Amino acid sequence: MATVRRVRHNLLAHLTVAGALLLPLVVTTASAASPPAPGPITLHSVIPAPAEVVPSSSGPFRITATTVLVAASAARPIAERLAAALRPATGFPLPIRPAGTTAITLLLNDAPDPWLGDEGYQLEVGTQGVALRANRPAGLFAGTQTLRQLLPTTVEASSVRPENWTVPAGLIRDRPRFPYRGTMLDLARHFHPPADVKRYIDEISRFKFNYLHLHLADDQGWRIEIDGWPRLTTVGGGPGTGVRGLGPGYLTQADYRELVRYAAERFVTILPEIDMPGHVNAAQVAYPSLTCDGVAPRQRTDIRVGYSSLCTSKESTYVFVEDVIRQLAALTPGPYLHVGGDEALSTRHEDYLAFEQRVLPLVAKYGKTAYGWHEIAAAPAATDAVIQYWSVSRDTPTVAAAAGAGAKVILSPADRTYLDMQYDLLTPGGLHWAGTIEVRTAYDWDPATWAHGVPADAVLGVEAPLWSETLRDYDDVEFQAFPRLAAIAELGWSPRSTHDWISFRDRLAAYGPRWTRRGVHFYRSPQIRW
Ligand code: TNX
């Protein structure tokens, strides 16, 4: 830094001698300490990094007022969504037509290309047009997200911009590394209304996340309507619930269905979670029969964990649990149902195991695969479940054993993926019990090899949970999630061979203006030359 300042001083001194002619050169050189001007957008600019990129030396494709979109049958809704995304800033009509001289064509392969699988796509860009091909609509959608990042950042503007709407020429063939790429929103500690959940879905789908885990119940609040148990939401989601009583609210079943639909349009699957047998104080305040002595506990709005437990020895507990599981399964088209299982510190271990041995199979009874925090690995029934690894230790023998016996594992190590951890001790909001997590910490690890003893083929993917103890509003959500979620997206989607901090850092810097234009309140990490 000191050297740079001295150089700058000398150059400015030189300027007074050499005169104005040198000004552009001097200014460029002297600003070496500040961010470099972003380079041109290339096929290598994309986050998450695509699997295969072959730039071409031909000229770019240019979207103009006469460009049309070509898409038939199941490709059409995706083309419509793409056109809707491109119209505001370009001001072009971009109609969907059977053919055109310059076109963006979305095609579903008649004969599947096995390499692409269900979510992969191929994007070819030449001077005359763009051809996007995939086996399935999910792949086309992923390809459109890539295409948007290949256009100038002003494409994010909400009104017409004068711009050369060019797309660099070449070929991208792309598919995900892991089938599960998720993030979690905690609606229990502070409720976040459906409109905010939708904004979050919009943002995560741009990075090709395909699961949104909703943490719907905890000690401080119950956030999903369950028929036959109205007090869960009227009391458990009512006024005074949430941390410090400041996060009231709940989803009706209609709200939940609408979120499922909205997410599905963006190829995101909702994973609902009801945490049990611990983290149930709000349910027990609403229904004291869920405790062993039948006495209502006091309402809790602090952020301690591990004090509440369902009464595992009462039959009526399982009537409640089955009601909840049956209704959530019916509301949820996705394959998984999350039954929590973490930090049940006030449930005796043998009771915990007996509880999980009954509850995990109940999920299967209603047609879903059970999913739980990694403590469930101790129960034999967990070998049929998905286990969410949140440990800060890389050695968790119960998980290794369950994975060896057939369980699938999602990597959410708290010291790498917990989006509620502070970036550093000075950032506002967030906790730091698992450490602080700067962007590079979130990026520089490998989900396939992280948990010792868990074979790579047992790893289904990666998820970044966003607990909401300190998140009052949606600005707080965005600040904690971005830019770290982009790092997790790349770990989940991109092949390991593309993993490169310097490349990621520079692509992230170039991505920043897109968030700025959309009004996303992201953390300007000092590790990135924004
Ligand atoms: C731990 S890790 C929890 C949550 C908290 C979170 C805060 C895990 C499965 N449970 O109850 O909200 O830490 O960071």
The CATH number linked to 427 is 3.20.20.80
Omega before 194 cis (within 30°)? Answer: no
pLDDT at res. 29: 34
Is 341 inside a domain boundary? Answer: yes
The pair of structure tokens assigned to 437 is: 């997590």
Residues 152, 257 within the same domain: no
Is 150 inside a domain boundary? Answer: yes
Residue 271 has pLDDT above 60, yes or no: yes
Phi, psi of 174 (to 5 degrees): -145, 145
Residues with CB under 6 A from ligand 1: 305, 342-343, 373, 390, 414, 418, 420, 431, 467, 469
The pair of structure tokens assigned to 217 is: 């119940």
DSSP helix/strand/coil, 158: coil
Residues 144, 279 within the same domain: no
Residues 418, 466 within the same domain: yes
Residues 205, 65 within the same domain: no
**Residue from 186, 243, 305 whose mutation best tests the ligand 1 pocket (most atoms within 8 A of CB):** 305
Residue 493 has pLDDT above 70, yes or no: yes
What separation in Å is there between the alpha carbon of 330 and the centre of ligand 1? 27
What separation in Å is there between the alpha carbon of 467 and the centre of ligand 1? 7
Pick 308 or 16 by higher pLDDT. 308
Across 209-229, average pLDDT: 98
What separation in Å is there between the alpha carbon of 204 and the centre of ligand 1? 21
**Residue from 218, 279, 342, 467 whose mutation best tests the ligand 1 pocket (most atoms within 8 A of CB):** 467
Domain total in the chain: 2
Is 20 inside a domain boundary? Answer: no
Residue 99: which pLDDT band, with cuts at 50, 70 and 90?
confident
Question: Which amino acid type is present at position 200?
Answer: Y
The whole-angstrom separation of Cα 277 and Cα 355 is: 8
Residues 360, 466 within the same domain: yes
pLDDT at res. 101: 85
Contacts of 116 (CB under 8 A, 6+ apart): 109, 122, 134, 135, 139, 173, 175
What is the DSSP-derived secondary structure letter of residue 295? P
Residues 90, 220 within the same domain: no
CB of 144 closer than 8 Å to CB of 82? yes
**Residue from 302, 342, 410, 417 whose mutation best tests the ligand 1 pocket (most atoms within 8 A of CB):** 342
Please state the separation of Cα 336 from the chain's center in Å.
17
The whole-angstrom separation of Cα 527 and Cα 227 is: 49
What separation in Å is there between the alpha carbon of 237 and the centre of ligand 1? 20
Nearest to 300 by CA among 188, 187, 467: 188
Ligand 1 atom showing the smallest separation from residue 420 Cα: 14
Ligand 1 atom showing the smallest separation from residue 418 Cα: 14
Residues 155, 202 within the same domain: no
Is 126 inside a domain boundary? Answer: yes
DSSP helix/strand/coil, 123: strand
pLDDT at res. 35: 55
pLDDT at res. 7: 31
Ligand 1 atom showing the smallest separation from residue 390 Cα: 2
pLDDT digits (tens, 9 = 90+) for 32-47: 445 555 679 999 999 9
CB of 234 closer than 8 Å to CB of 240? no
Residues 486, 435 within the same domain: yes
Structural domain range at position 61? 43-174
CATH number at residue 62: 3.30.379.10
Whose alpha carbon is nearest atom 12 of ligand 1?
A: 467
Residue 30 has pLDDT above 80, yes or no: no
Is 435 inside a domain boundary? Answer: yes
| Cα 350–Cα 356–Cα 358 angle in degrees, nearest 5 | 105
Burial of residue 128 (CB within 10 Å: 0-12, 13-18, 19+) is exposed
Residues 162, 304 within the same domain: no
Residues 69, 212 within the same domain: no
DSSP helix/strand/coil, 225: coil
Whose alpha carbon is nearest atom 4 of ligand 1?
A: 467
Active site residues: 343
pLDDT digits (tens, 9 = 90+) for 321-360: 999 999 999 999 999 999 999 999 999 999 999 999 999 9
What separation in Å is there between the alpha carbon of 187 and the centre of ligand 1? 13
CB of 61 closer than 8 Å to CB of 166? yes
Instruction: Say how many C-beta atoms besides its own lie within 10 A of residue 227's C-beta.
Output: 9
Residue 525 has pLDDT above 70, yes or no: yes
Residues 184, 163 within the same domain: no
The dihedral of CA 370, 371, 377, 379: what is its sign?
Answer: negative
What number of CA atoms fall less than 13 Å from residue 146's CA on the CB side? 37
**H-run or E-run covering 323:** helix 315-331
Ligand 1 atom showing the smallest separation from residue 340 Cα: 9
Whose alpha carbon is nearest atom 11 of ligand 1?
A: 305
pLDDT at res. 34: 54
Ligand 1 atom showing the smallest separation from residue 421 Cα: 14
- Report if pTM > 0.75: yes
pLDDT at res. 100: 83
DSSP helix/strand/coil, 368: coil
Is 148 inside a domain boundary? Answer: yes
pLDDT digits (tens, 9 = 90+) for 296-306: 999 999 999 99
pLDDT digits (tens, 9 = 90+) for 54-87: 999 999 999 999 999 999 899 999 999 999 999 9
**103-to-132, 140, 156 alpha-carbon distances in Å:** 11, 16, 21
Is 37 inside a domain boundary? Answer: no
Residues 140, 218 within the same domain: no
Across 161-184, average pLDDT: 98
Whose alpha carbon is nearest atom 10 of ligand 1?
A: 342
Is 10 inside a domain boundary? Answer: no
